[in-house]
Structure 1
Amino acid sequence: MTPQAFIAKWRDNPLTERAGAQAHFEDLCALLEVEPPRIEGEYQYERGLIKKSSASQGWADVWKRGCFAWEYKAPDKDLGAALKQLMVYALALDNPPLLLVSDRKRIEIHTHFTGTPSEVHSILLEDIGQPENLQKLHWLFNAPERFKPRTTTYAVTEEAARKMGKLAERLNARNHAPLETAHFLIQCVFCMFAEDARLLPEKLFETVLNKSNPDGAKAQSRLTELFTAMRKGGDFALETIPYFNGGLFELIEVPPLTTEDVVQLLDAARMGWGEIEPAILGTLFERGLNPDMRSQLGAHYTDPATILKLICPVIEQPLIGEWNDTRAKLARLAPQFGYEKGRKKGEFRPNEARTEGQSLFNAFLERLKRFRVLDPACGSGNFLYLALKTLKDIEHRANLEAEALGLQRELTIETSPANVLGIELNPYAAELARVTVWIGEIQWMLTHGYALRRNPILQPLDHIENRDAVLQIPPSPPLTKGGMDNVAQETSPFEKGGLRGISEPEWPDADAIVGNPPFLGGSKKRGELGSEYFNALNRVYKDRVPGGADLVTYWFEKARAQVEAGKAQRVGLVATQAIRAGSNRKVLERIVATAPIFEAWSDEPWINNGAAVRVSLVCFGDGKESSLDGKPVSTIHADLTAGGGLDLTQAKPLAENSSVAFKGAEKNGAFDVPGETARQWLKLPNPNGHANAKVVKPWKNGQDIAGRPSDTWVIDFGVSTTENEASLFETPFAHALVYVKPERAKNNDANRKKNWWRFGRNGADMRSGISGLSRYIVTPRVAKYRYFVWCDATVSPDSRLYVIASDSNIAFGILSSRIHEVWSLAQASMHGDGNEGGRPTYNAKSCFETFPFPTGLTPALSRVEGPRVTASPSPQPSPLKGEGAQSIATTAAQLNALRETWLNPPEWVDWVRTKEEEQAGFPLRPVAKPGHEAELKKRTLTNLYNARPAWLDNAHRELDAAVAAAYGWTGYTPEMPNEEILKRLLALNLERSAKKS
């Protein structure tokens, strides 16, 4: 058929809608020379045949899997109604990428690709022969992906957030209160979305700005009038405005606007706001509107697919399981569905089977309507939106599948913003969470062809609360003449030595709890939160959450308590990987005992405050089957490992290992100085007659061990030096006065403010442990490989190092062996960023104190065996007792000597120190010989273990064999599975801990 013949036949064709649909499509196939629909389930007419009144019709008049769904209307009929029908049934049609509607005079192609804005391509009958239109029609059948928009909804949302962020910056620069600015711009965001979603008259918001330009005062006045009309509904500029409110327009304070403000708002209003992505909307807009987060605006955000790893097992899977049970019952009843005559003439009523089926279906819908999801750290609402979307998707699916079985489909969707509850401390985020949920709800309803709720359009969301989720702090009284500072001092709920009215807050009952609680390490809580808040947490959660646990664990404990009390069924929360180890694991152990972990992802990429990190995702509660990292398992332990007999969480700290391993000191300030500067300071006199070498020392952190030495030194005033005593070291003190004190003045920790010249955590226990030693053992807390090295006793170790207080080659050898490595890796938490997987984090409590050393060879015992060895680039073994112990010492010393020679070849390195360094007893420093600087930079432990040359592997194997022999493992070989090593060590740990108890 030629285009001319096609146009002539269908220009004024009298066939009805039903009669003309298939005839028109058959002719179109002839025109395009493609096969017509003839394959049931793949390419057919009347896809999904169901009964509607007395007529039969499909969900779509024509359907081709993976390509399109097509609905016809009679000429000049409403194509919008046809499109709405396709949108309602898109799920049942396997979500085709293209939705087509036609009245035979016009063909409209609506793109329906996930994650992209919808675009419309229209082809008029008279233009069907144009080459570009024929090409588009061919693509429908063989290349639907050619219609996929290049812009994504994520890109649209990022651009919108960027523009609103710039405007927020402008307004705040004129001393507008940031919260008031944010509230106004959030109102604008919703208006721009509402006009594109046709909730406001078309382009109304844009017109208000355009007509006001360049007069900012007019824009301010007119926007105030518009917002006022939206509060309760009413007239504005000859237009009838629906009743929106829901709380968003309760407070109206449009700030004074300049011409530039109006121009920027107008530029933003011209974007496609109907296509923004709710899953990331709140996150990006919080960054743009909150001055404290603006630097993160261009940073990454968490992929919604990762969030769904919690949403699916906690919300979707159990509800789908319930629906599948209900659907199975309906399927058994469906053949008997029918109607019977009533008593009145012409009356027909459902028979018993249909009545029972409808009752079962309605009960499931009521279950969904009552289902509640709580996010107790909801941020700007991405979890809440995805939870609500999941509930609505389930309800929609149930509707379609019930209709396919012959029941009456509900024309409304009952799940709504009332289903999601939130708690959020940050007021910016709390308001954005509400808007995210509102926009997500409206967008979902329109996309799926359902009518919106009215009067008001926005349901009140007071159940997304702006408050603290883990401490209930009484509100401060009104300000008095004394001002804010006096009120804080006189009426603070944090009383000295006690708490005034502070308690554990209640969480609302919910079927499911999900969320991403704040990440803050246990060692940083006091400094970041302040001593008063830190002490309050410890008091309120005494005996439930260890004081040294990360902040995130309080949310885990409260959620556990909700499950135990029957106030929640399932929980899915995000945590740092440290949740699996140390004091954090105590919280997971309580969970395993009362609300078992049924699904977990031990190592996942995540975005926290714009930074790429690695996390663990943990689901617990009444799950029926267990899954770890996507694989079915029988049990999940508190360390997020699986298995039947091997549960390393049973391992107990051993008394003989206590007070041996310590974390290095934590500076909490700019105490570090370059080596050249420090060496100049060593020459300077002081009024107290003491050398600066008493307080200026070589310093090492994890990077100095894993990489090349940085020659960084540190000002270390020790544990108890007073400010007056410190000031007598004139130059180092003056440096600290300038570079440390101003920053310490901002610290929330009162002790760190007061003792600003000393380290924030001075490591008194560690200093005591290594006193009297000429050297000690260190390992980086976070490292790709677990290796141990010697450190001179005069060197100050950073908090990124763990210090083992022993100068014995026995201890060094056992720790450097595969036996300890396997144990420490199994007991470690993981730390990392990006998408590269985490790096093991060594921890004294879980990795060292639980490790059962060979009998009689713990570091505390081996430390006193024989004379101590003076530190040198290649320490020699001490004379030690016992053939097995001597073998470990010898092979350990050999490993260390080989490594040191590789790291610092004599041909490339000179060992140097100044006269002052020598007098102070500071160690020699390796310095590259001329011409070898570039080569030496590559000589690092990380690079060495990346390559793992044969000599290194052989040295480790010899050491491993010596250590295994000390355990009495006569059958040890390098091929022994890690699982067997762990099994033996765990048995030894349990045996020793049982004897002690």
Structure 2
Amino acid sequence: MARLNLKAVEERVAPLAGRESYDREFIFDLLLAYGKPQGNVTRLRNGSLNIAVDSSTEVAQKNVVYFKETTGDPLEVIDGLKSSPAVVRFSTRFVIVTDYFELVAHDIKTSETIGFPIREIDQHFTFFLPWAGMEKAQYVAESHADVKAAERMGKLFDELLHANPGIFDDAQGRHSLNIFFTRLLFCFFAEDTGIFDDNQFTNAIGSHTQSDGSDLAEFLGDLFRALDTADPADKPTHLAEFPYVNGRLFTVKDDQVVPRFTKQARDELIASGTLIWRDINPDIFGSMFQAIVTPGKRSDLGQHYTSVPNILKTIEPLFLDDLKEEINESQDSERRLLRLLDRIAAIKVFDPACGSGNFLVIAYKELRKLEHAILERLAELRGGAHQGQLLGSRINVENFFGIEIDDFAVEVAILSLWIAKHQMNVEFREKFGIDLPLIPLKETGQIKSGNATRVDWNAVCPNDGSSEIYLIGNPPYVGSSMQTAEQKSEFSSVFGRRPFSKNLDYIALWFVRGSDYIKGTRAELAFVTTNSVAQGEHVSLMFPTIFNMGIEIGFAYTSFKWENNAKHNAGVTVAVIGLRNTSDHAKYIFTDGLEIAANNINGYLADAPNIIAGRQMKPISVGLPPMAFGSKPTDGGYLVLEPVERRELLDAYPDAARFVKRYVGAADYINDIERYCLWITDREASEARQIGPIAARLEKLAAWRLESKAQSTVDFADRPYRFKQLAYKPTDSIIVPSVSSERRDYIPIGYLGPDTVISNAAFAIYDAEPWLFALLTSRMHMAWTRAVGGQLETRLRYSNTIVYNNFPVPPLSDKTKEMLTVAALRVLDVREYHCEQTLAELYDPDRMPQDLRDAHAEIDALVDSIYSKKPYETDEQRLSDLFALYERMTAEETAKAPAKKTRRTAK
């Protein structure tokens, strides 16, 4: 299918608008407008591709659309279709209902619904862009009630700490408080969802306690005991109507303290109860956890709360997509569907950094939805009879395992699974008319408290090798420089006798331990991770250990912004990496809304062999001049001049101009900061000393160097006029910032004249020609930089030995260099036109002038054509070709090395 851009789709949809009348042909015309193949649409029209429906008023295609005509209210009809068996089984992307006057559409993936007059289809064409391969950004809005709940409970937490000084300071006291808040969360949810009577908990507090809160602790202690008492006759009369829950949650032990309440604390508790908790988003527990616990308590241990769409990026390609496909293939076979029920019931899901349980909750709910779809299909095959299949759900909370270091999070995770179970039981009742009561609670949960880097994962979730186990989650990421001594010590427990680098990110422990856990078994894993683990030096530090176990990357989501429902969104860039034992199963890279089949996925998340771009001391590509750090003064500031110092010097001594040059580092160049330096050669030293201000500076510099603890600096005291490390040449040069904002589409690389000295705060290429500037400012080179260069904090980090020297460039003809030169000069001309703006402003992605974008686009297209005859759609395709070329070039270099050695020996 030919890919269409946004403008092309808009133009193709426009003729569908404003028609005098519409009929069934509309859906076929609409699919064609988004680039769906003519042959497929023809087969869909004549019914040979139409699935799941026999009605002339319905059209359905797997993964694409479920379209229905109606004479009723389209909005009411679509509500019933959203969770219909066919929509679930066939992974329909869009559900569309129309009476040919109004059109209502629902996006199953993003849960968005839109309605409009069908004549205005051209005004809403972007809604269906996923059909053309342009995926919508998966942003999830905060639920207002969720945020209010978190804020209320946070205020209550703070007030209780204030009212109960000291009693929660030790570990046991904090555990008691954690248990207490878990019970409150359950009660709030229970009274809004039918587990309790409506508002039963909040009304009881308001009716049976003093307004000053003085007796509330006693009342809650009695209530918790009542909830742990099976026989109503054994409960206080005023609590007899509360149901029996079970002892796992409400057993009151002697060492578990119910806190004293103040009037304000009681008011906060009642205010929390007046919120609607019925449809609470699973992310609330992460958000609430964040609001309740002491600020910063576990921030370095990865308290991350991932949104539902991002959790699905982990579990869909790991196992959900496969299960949905099997349902599709089994829809007409009762035997296969029953076997699939057995399979789903046996699946184990394990999150070894589970936090408050979001990943486990969503996995549980998705498996329950599939179970419901299978049961509905079985009923259809049996003419509406369930024949004993609906005794209850076979998906057991006990099959969901977790490890979490924080005590409160363990309790919240268990509670989250219970609540998720109740929500799915409600859906079960709505679909099948059978009530599956949540209480009394039977499952005790498989969430264990502990440090996952030291706990034996097999002791938590036994892996016998044949079980279908999926490890999922969002383990903590902590850079090597930010790790505590305790975290550093954990590497030895995970790696054992295997070598490891101290520069590994903390999350590497989960990838390595996870690989150990799944090795040689059916188990697979997928973790959300900081994207830096698949960039730069970290690739060489982590992935060889993993690949050497016979583990491969089965799928990967390349870098994307991480969104969640916490009040203060994390705002980091992450990836999703799925690992499994080496197999011949398909591999996929997900990027920019596209799903791309891959032959192999390497540690840089590119479709390329498992190769590592190590340090190279010279460029591997013929014709590239050397790149080095700029000149380093080691001068105590005496060789560097601010503009006012330069002006004063030259006003008094005009002849000193030949000893002064413009001096720039990365920050100077990007932000247009003006600085100068003294540049004096050996031959000019005696003349320079005749100028008083220069002589005074050199004398002070000599004394400064003599006092240095570094002998190499002391050795230069007798040459104070000289930079300690020289790189400058009086030629045109290219300056490459060593660090640049990750937000920029292009690193602001510069082309300088011969009178500028580049400092050691940037990289420098001398004897540089403009064609090289074009090559280095291309999107091709940016893709390479992002992959192999790595990051400093979140900023892009450039390296001459890893990025530049390894950059593979095909042989360039003189004609190609000439074309690159013209394109380079165009970029430089546009920059000069906008000279009133700094490069930091020009290359801000939100402010970049269109003419500068266009000039860079010309370079991008030209450089792309050097590597491929076909245009690239993604950076991942660029990387695939770059790594293939890199592998060939390095293999050729390796092959040459023995031959050279043989010739030397022959001499």
Q: TM-score, normalised by structure 1?
A: 0.55
Q: Which secondary structure state, in structure 2, belongs to the residue aligned with residue 851 of structure 1?
A: coil
Quote the Cα distance in structure 1 between the aligned partners of 2:663 and 2:230: 68
Contact 1:163–1:264 under 8 Å retained in 2: yes
Q: Which has the larger radius of gyration?
A: 1
* Deviation, structure 1 residue 839: 8.6
Quote the Cα distance in structure 2 between the aligned partners of 1:540 and 1:167: 40
Report the equivalent of 1:654: 616
Report the equivalent of 2:586: 625
Report the equivalent of 1:848: 804
Contact 1:626–1:635 under 8 Å retained in 2: yes
Report the equivalent of 1:282: 285
Contact 1:187–1:249 under 8 Å retained in 2: no
* Deviation, structure 1 residue 984: 4.7
Quote the Cα distance in structure 2 between the aligned partners of 1:431 and 1:365: 30
Letter paired with 2:453: V
* Deviation, structure 1 residue 421: 0.8
Quote the Cα distance in structure 2 between the aligned partners of 1:215 and 1:946: 60
What is the root-mean-square deviation of aligned Cα atoms in Å?
A: 5.7
* Deviation, structure 1 residue 452: 3.5
Report the equivalent of 1:365: 341
Report the equivalent of 2:474: 516
* Deviation, structure 1 residue 315: 2.5
**Alignment equivalent of 1:431, drawn from 404, 408, 411:** 411
Quote the Cα distance in structure 2 between the aligned partners of 1:205 and 1:954: 63
The 3 A distance-change label for structure 1 pair 815 and 896 is same
Quote the Cα distance in structure 2 between the aligned partners of 1:181 and 1:453: 28
**Alignment equivalent of 1:549, drawn from 485, 504, 511:** 504
The 3 A distance-change label for structure 1 pair 216 and 701 is farther
The 3 A distance-change label for structure 1 pair 114 and 991 is closer
* Deviation, structure 1 residue 304: 0.8
Contact 1:314–1:619 under 8 Å retained in 2: yes
Letter paired with 2:267: V
**Alignment equivalent of 1:246, drawn from 235, 238, 248:** 248
Report the equivalent of 1:615: 574
Contact 2:351–2:359 under 8 Å retained in 1: yes
**Alignment equivalent of 1:172, drawn from 147, 161, 178:** 161
* Deviation, structure 1 residue 603: 2.6
Contact 2:324–2:370 under 8 Å retained in 1: yes
* Deviation, structure 1 residue 589: 5.3
| 1:273 pairs with 2:277 | yes
1:860-939 matches, within 5 Å, as 902=832, 935-936=836-837
Quote the Cα distance in structure 2 between the aligned partners of 1:455 and 1:949: 66
The 3 A distance-change label for structure 1 pair 63 and 676 is farther
| 1:209 pairs with 2:185 | no
Report the equivalent of 1:308: 312
Q: Which secondary structure state, in structure 1, belongs to the residue aligned with residue 575 of structure 2?
A: strand
* Deviation, structure 1 residue 383: 0.6
Quote the Cα distance in structure 2 between the aligned partners of 1:987 and 1:550: 31
1:658-737 matches, within 5 Å, as 705-709=669-673
Letter paired with 1:209: I
Quote the Cα distance in structure 1 between the aligned partners of 2:222 and 2:871: 78
**Alignment equivalent of 2:365, drawn from 389, 392, 410:** 389
Report the equivalent of 2:684: none
Quote the Cα distance in structure 1 between the aligned partners of 2:276 and 2:252: 26
Quote the Cα distance in structure 1 between the aligned partners of 2:559 and 2:749: 25
Contact 1:599–1:626 under 8 Å retained in 2: yes
Report the equivalent of 2:450: 467
* Deviation, structure 1 residue 404: 1.6
Report the equivalent of 1:752: none
Report the equivalent of 1:264: 268
Contact 1:378–1:424 under 8 Å retained in 2: yes
* Deviation, structure 1 residue 591: 4.9
Letter paired with 2:452: A
Contact 1:519–1:576 under 8 Å retained in 2: yes
Q: Which secondary structure state, in structure 2, belongs to the residue aligned with residue 318 of structure 1?
A: helix
| 1:448 pairs with 2:418 | no
Higher relative contact order (CA 8 A, sep 6+): 2
Letter paired with 1:654: Q
* Deviation, structure 1 residue 42: 8.9
The 3 A distance-change label for structure 1 pair 192 and 648 is closer
* Deviation, structure 1 residue 292: 1.5
Report the equivalent of 1:573: 527
Letter paired with 2:673: P
The 3 A distance-change label for structure 1 pair 416 and 636 is same
Letter paired with 1:989: T
**Alignment equivalent of 2:187, drawn from 188, 191, 213:** 191
Contact 1:654–1:993 under 8 Å retained in 2: no
Quote the Cα distance in structure 2 between the aligned partners of 1:561 and 1:379: 22
Q: Which secondary structure state, in structure 2, belongs to the residue aligned with residue 273 of structure 1?
A: coil
The 3 A distance-change label for structure 1 pair 285 and 191 is same
Contact 1:375–1:383 under 8 Å retained in 2: yes
The 3 A distance-change label for structure 1 pair 394 and 191 is same
Quote the Cα distance in structure 2 between the aligned partners of 1:115 and 1:816: 40
Q: TM-score, normalised by structure 2?
A: 0.60
The 3 A distance-change label for structure 1 pair 982 and 938 is closer
| 1:772 pairs with 2:719 | no
The 3 A distance-change label for structure 1 pair 576 and 385 is same
Quote the Cα distance in structure 1 between the aligned partners of 2:423 and 2:853: 64
CA deviation profile, 1:853-894 (whole Å, cap 9, x unmatched): 899x9xxxxxxxxxxxxxxxxxxxxxxxxx99xx99x979x9
Quote the Cα distance in structure 1 between the aligned partners of 2:87 and 2:344: 23
Q: Which secondary structure state, in structure 2, belongs to the residue aligned with residue 989 of structure 1?
A: helix
Contact 1:156–1:275 under 8 Å retained in 2: no
Q: Which runs of 5+ in 2 are unaligned?
A: 1-52, 59-69, 95-107, 112-139, 621-625, 649-661, 678-699, 701-708, 710-722, 730-734, 873-877, 899-907
Letter paired with 1:556: F
Report the equivalent of 2:890: 989
Q: How many residues align?
A: 659
Q: Which secondary structure state, in structure 1, belongs to the residue aligned with residue 215 of structure 2?
A: helix
**Alignment equivalent of 1:942, drawn from 831, 843, 848:** 843
The 3 A distance-change label for structure 1 pair 530 and 770 is farther
Q: Which secondary structure state, in structure 2, belongs to the residue aligned with residue 277 of structure 1?
A: coil
Q: Which secondary structure state, in structure 1, belongs to the residue aligned with residue 454 of structure 2?
A: coil
Quote the Cα distance in structure 2 between the aligned partners of 1:254 and 1:544: 49
Q: Which runs of 5+ in 1 are unaligned?
A: 1-38, 45-61, 71-85, 98-112, 117-150, 331-356, 474-502, 666-670, 684-697, 714-728, 730-754, 756-768, 798-802, 858-882, 906-934
* Deviation, structure 1 residue 579: 2.7
Q: Which secondary structure state, in structure 2, belongs to the residue aligned with residue 206 of structure 1?
A: helix
1:475-494 matches, within 5 Å, as none
The 3 A distance-change label for structure 1 pair 975 and 597 is closer
The 3 A distance-change label for structure 1 pair 40 and 848 is closer
Q: Which secondary structure state, in structure 1, belongs to the residue aligned with residue 571 of structure 2?
A: strand
* Deviation, structure 1 residue 850: 2.2
Contact 1:92–1:400 under 8 Å retained in 2: yes
- Percent identity of the aligned residues? 18
Quote the Cα distance in structure 2 between the aligned partners of 1:257 and 1:663: 65
Report the equivalent of 1:528: 482
* Deviation, structure 1 residue 214: 0.8
* Deviation, structure 1 residue 410: 2.1
Quote the Cα distance in structure 1 between the aligned partners of 2:357 and 2:630: 38
